[in-house]
Structure 1
């Protein structure tokens, strides 16, 4: 007779999840869950058993882990979400599981699948180019700096613990695994340096594994990646937090630095400014730095929630539209409304329904603009967006793999990621 389950469910106010719990086979180890529950998605490497499941019209990642660790990670992910840091969204912890013999099973941490996200193995293959790898690593560095600015110590930085979403011509990185993470009021330099050093070591090991599996060329020197990661981290951290001594009559450089950080996607919320004894020099240093400069601008102007580089591209296109239509004296919010109605929405609406799952709408818009530029260069004259959209759909989008999760019926348990393994087209 099967053991009676007395489950302990912790959930972030997601009432719909409670109705899902009784329908899942909690008395089975996760590795033995039936195929009809599983979603065919490429997944990264984990030291725990992880499965993607389809339930209630959505997709969840389920990870078996001890109850103590599951509850800790649950709290860390909730805090990360509350600070609007890039991470997966946590759904619940299910503990108190027993198998059919009454033996205790690990707890389960459940997170929502991050739409349009890809594990690093999908982005990196034997066709690996250094530019692709650099874009992946730069996005991871930006994520790590944002976490540290918020006082979060990751403790297990790696490509395997990160998911990537397209962001115009680069990527946006999202934290997946927060099991070893901690928040501090003031994160120490020692903790930050350990995070960076551990990340460099882990990533070199991950790339060596790919080399051993034939997914990265044998002549690629992966040991240089550690130095690159540490250098990029320190450059960005110093840009965002370092103090600067300037002549008192060059105070304009404070604003110039703020503008430069804005181009990097960060806003300065507070600055310390000190004068020396003679008043000839001042020293200033940012104290409060927040990410998402262009994301906030674009959301305020249009309501669109997009990645930072996508937002930068959209903002630039709104300003270009303002110049082209000679609307310089019109409030930018009204210009943005007109741009949405006459440029952005018609472009996205032109995408056939059966191709909508290929990419996020903002990414499609960015790629259409890129395609229009290349077509105009080739034709030696300006190509209208309508013409560029048609050609982009036919020659580019139609051949791409779907990156939004599509729920086929029935789902199969085997994920075929061969169609994804082409980073030069990514």
Structure 2
């Protein structure tokens, strides 16, 4: 009789042996961040010289594995859906590929074959008595890939939480299993300084009790979290759950009681944080992990009344265009869910979308508010979607404003040392 336990034993193998399932030309889908399977990616790296034209597609790599090597990119090549520290240099040098995307649409692109998915490597919780694993550290686009792939290999680790939501994979869907017991990678909170704190205080003043939050990754969004501990009955509908959100649960600010959409539930698609966070996620009925085409869909997320989206950018021009993912033409990160949640907040009844940034860079020598974006800059949030922009000098509300009104609002929150120059350039452009 093929019980789940019997199937488990039959499919159990080593990471090195699992590489036999990968064929030349395959695309391997790997989930976001700490949900990546380290034993499998290490084995792939060790054997990379034996492969030809294998791709590893992932929205955020956190491990610096051996296959991330320009000398063997023809053997195994990384395809980034979002750049991080592990892949940024390769993207800027051209030996790591990049697929532009909105996070919410990646599962559909996989389903339609626009992003190929022959193989899946993912971390997973131990199997339950009914034969299900949870990939709660990153359901993202991985659930769609599992439904599509020829080969599904799970790295089963007792430190991976069994989360609730649409993140469960049955043993019958799995081709092979490997086991590991190393602690799940931990990602600490970003550094928060006085500029980030000043910006956070402005944003926090706009967040009412009972609001539902989407909080992006970065020093400023996490600084906002620290300003919200006195709030009441906040809800969570986000893409990333991290330790900042956990702190709001622990202090009682997040209860999800006043959410009108999925009340009582925190909703996310991946986790990035500490071992404490991962323990919190384990069989916690307060939290559900779902694919990104559910969590990030602007129409679905926008069903939350009073949705507040908080995301960071690198540069913004006087028209309101946000360059959040490149330094000129040099890639830096990716769109991720920024556009998804800005649009969701704009749809939400009582919603507010905040784009946050320090007014300057490089020790106050460069203004991040500019007349026009640097040539080649990747626009993440468009002029049509922008709502609130916040620096340490204040808040500019741009939605419904003319070009001239926008310019005045943005110049008023620029660093004082650059306001005259910005005004002069705006006049030369016939904006003012």
TM-score by length of 2: 0.28
Q: Which has the higher helix share?
A: 1
> Which structure has the larger Rg over C-alpha atoms?
1
Q: Greater relative contact order: 1 or 2 (C-alpha under 8 angstroms, separation 6 or more)?
A: 1
